[in-house]
């Protein structure tokens, strides 16, 4: 792979995956500044790993692998329970937007209460990856991904109810 | 209660702020990586230069008897083994394969981090033994005319010093490891266990 090809592929990957990767960072970390650091670190690792990309995996799955592994060894400056995610500053214009924003905040609060692994797995599921793709990213079997996800879904739905009740 | 599909739709609708401009600067990233690798090369290069300087100093000051050449060879081989072992471990940590599935990635990362705690093992003690033996041979000539007592004291010091320095180095390394790596190793081990826990 020449430098030009590498750069072109990187820019393409960056454009395709930045929203998903940043959402994954938000589900894993506790503040916006840390998300920027982790995102930067993930993209650095994507750039660094590009020459070894052989095309065996789907490109987006490959990027998620790097994102998840980078997140796993990323050192957080604070404990996860100390601070809840700084949500992006959206301009809320309508009642519907406000409601949606509250639901999103509740979802983030609920995800923040899950364990590290579960948070990453549920983010991949919320991003729309199927069981096989999640198994490819995490290295566990498809069956076990199914078991884990059904547990996480239950936990998340219960947490969402608790978080919504707390908000009321 | 919201269904999971609704949560998924909600999640994917979230707009994220633009990442910092420097994140897209791939040339900048490549430069950062080059800087990191260059720093490793510089540190290890300095170690090699110190070894070469030491070799030159000993050769030019002590002359070239067979015993000294043999001693110098052992001494340098021991130093080079120690530097090379350390260099290999640093490089392994710097070259983690992030594109592997997480379970394999965690395995490899844990193995490399644990290696950093006990980098030398048997090879390290052998390298130190070579350094001590080499130093004794190098100084065997210059101390040949001294009294037996002072000669024994000198060679005991020359033998003990490398082992003492190595032991001290291992203690410093263990302290650094406990501060820098141990929490990470414990967290990764817990994650690995969580990832691989048996389904009921």
- Distance from C-alpha of B119 to C-alpha of B88, rounded to nearest angstrom: 9
CB contact under 8 A, A160 and B2: yes
Pick from B3, B96, B101, B200 the residue to mutate for testing the A interface (most A CBs within 10 Å): B101
> What percentage of chain A reaches a pLDDT higher than 70?
83
Question: Helix, strand, coil % (nearest 5) of chain A?
Answer: 75, 0, 25
Q: What is the dihedral of CA B128, B131, B137, B141, to 10 degrees?
A: -130
Q: Name the pTM for this structure.
A: 0.67
DSSP character string of A75-90? PPSS-TTT--------
| Residue pair A163/A106 in contact by the 8 Å Cβ criterion | yes
| Planar angle of CA B136, B138, B144, nearest 5 degrees | 80
CB pairs under 8 A between A and B: 142
Distance from CA of A13 to the nearest CA of B (A): 11
Q: CA angle B174-B180-B184, nearest 5°?
A: 110
Give the residue from B8, B17, B26 with the most A CB atoms within 10 Å of its CB, the best one to mutate: B26
d(CA A52, nearest CA chain B) in Å: 9
How high is the mean pLDDT of chain A?
79
B191:A72 CB<8 A: yes
Q: What is the pLDDT of residues A109-146, one digit of tens each?
A: 888 888 877 888 888 999 889 999 999 888 888 998 89
Neighboring chain B residues of A26 at a CB cutoff of 8 Å: 16
The DSSP result for chain B, as a single string, is ---HHHHHHHHHH---PPPPGGGG-HHHHHHHHHHHHHHHHHHHHHHHHHHHHHHHHHHHHH---HHHHHHHHHHHHHHHHHHHHHHHHHHHHHT--TTS-HHHHHHHHHHHHHHHHSSSHHHHHHHHHHHHHHHHHHTTTTTTTS-HHHHHHHHHHHHHHHHHHHHHHHHHHHHHHHHHTHHHHHHHHHHHHHHHPPP-
Estimate to the nearest angstrom the gap between the alpha carbon of B155 and the chain centroid: 29
Per-residue pLDDT of chain B (200 residues; tens, 9 = 90+): 677 788 888 888 876 555 554 444 444 444 555 565 677 678 778 888 888 887 788 777 766 678 888 888 888 898 888 888 877 877 777 777 888 888 888 888 888 877 777 766 677 888 899 999 998 888 776 666 678 788 888 889 989 999 998 888 888 888 877 877 787 788 788 878 877 765 44
Q: How many CA atoms lie within 13 A of A162 on its CB side?
A: 11
The C-alpha atoms of residue A160 and residue B1 are separated, in whole angstroms, by 8
Q: Which two tokens stand for residue B108?
A: 């490899």
Q: How far is A83 from chain B (nearest CA, A)?
A: 19
Chain A environment of B30 (Cβ under 8 Å): 47
Residues of A in contact with B97 (CB under 8 A): 49, 52
- Name the closest residue on chain A to residue B6, using Cα atoms: A126
Residue A49 and residue B103: Cβ atoms within 8 Å?
no
Token pair, residue B199, equals 């389904």
Token pair belonging to B166: 């190595």
Contacts of B188 in chain A (CB under 8 A): 72-73
Structure ipTM over 0.95, yes or no = no
């Amino acid at each position: 792979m020449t430098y030009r090809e590498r750069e072109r592929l990187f820019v393409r990957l960056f454009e395709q995956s930045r929203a998903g990767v940043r959402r994954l960072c938000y589900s894993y970390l506790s503040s916006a500044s840390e998300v920027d650091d982790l995102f930067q670190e993930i993209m650095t690792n994507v750039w660094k790993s590009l020459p070894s990309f052989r095309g065996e995996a789907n490109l987006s799955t490959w990027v998620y692998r790097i994102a998840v592994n980078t997140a796993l060894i990323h050192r957080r400056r604070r404990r996860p329970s100390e601070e809840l995610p700084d949500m992006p500053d959206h301009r809320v214009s309508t009642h519907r937007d406000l409601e949606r924003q509250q639901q999103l905040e509740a979802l983030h609060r609920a995800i923040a209460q899950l364990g590290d692994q579960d948070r990453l797995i549920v983010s991949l599921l919320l991003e729309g990856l199927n069981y096989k793709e999640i198994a490819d990213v995490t290295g566990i079997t498809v069956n076990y991904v199914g078991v884990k996800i059904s547990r996480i879904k239950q936990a998340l739905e219960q947490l969402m109810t608790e978080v919504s009740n707390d908000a009321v | 209660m919201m269904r999971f599909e609704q949560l998924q739709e909600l999640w994917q609708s979230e707009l994220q702020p633009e990442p910092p401009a420097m994140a897209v600067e791939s040339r900048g990233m490549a430069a950062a990586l080059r800087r990191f690798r260059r720093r490793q090369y510089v540190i290890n290069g300095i170690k090699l230069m110190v070894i070469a300087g030491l070799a030159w100093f000993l050769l030019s000051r002590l002359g070239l008897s067979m015993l000294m050449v043999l001693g110098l060879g052992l001494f340098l081989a021991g130093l080079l083994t120690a530097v090379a072992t350390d260099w290999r471990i640093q490089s392994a940590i710097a070259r983690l394969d992030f594109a592997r599935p997480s379970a394999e990635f965690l395995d490899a990362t844990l193995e490399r981090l644990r290696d950093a705690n006990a980098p030398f093992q048997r090879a390290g003690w052998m390298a130190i033994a070579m350094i001590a033996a080499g130093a004794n041979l190098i100084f065997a000539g210059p101390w040949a005319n001294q009294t037996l007592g002072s000669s024994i004291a000198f060679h005991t010091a020359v033998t003990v010093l490398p082992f003492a320095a190595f032991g001290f180095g291992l203690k410093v390394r263990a302290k650094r490891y406990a501060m820098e790596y141990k929490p990470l190793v414990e967290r990764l081990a817990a994650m690995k266990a969580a990832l691989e826990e048996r389904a009921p």
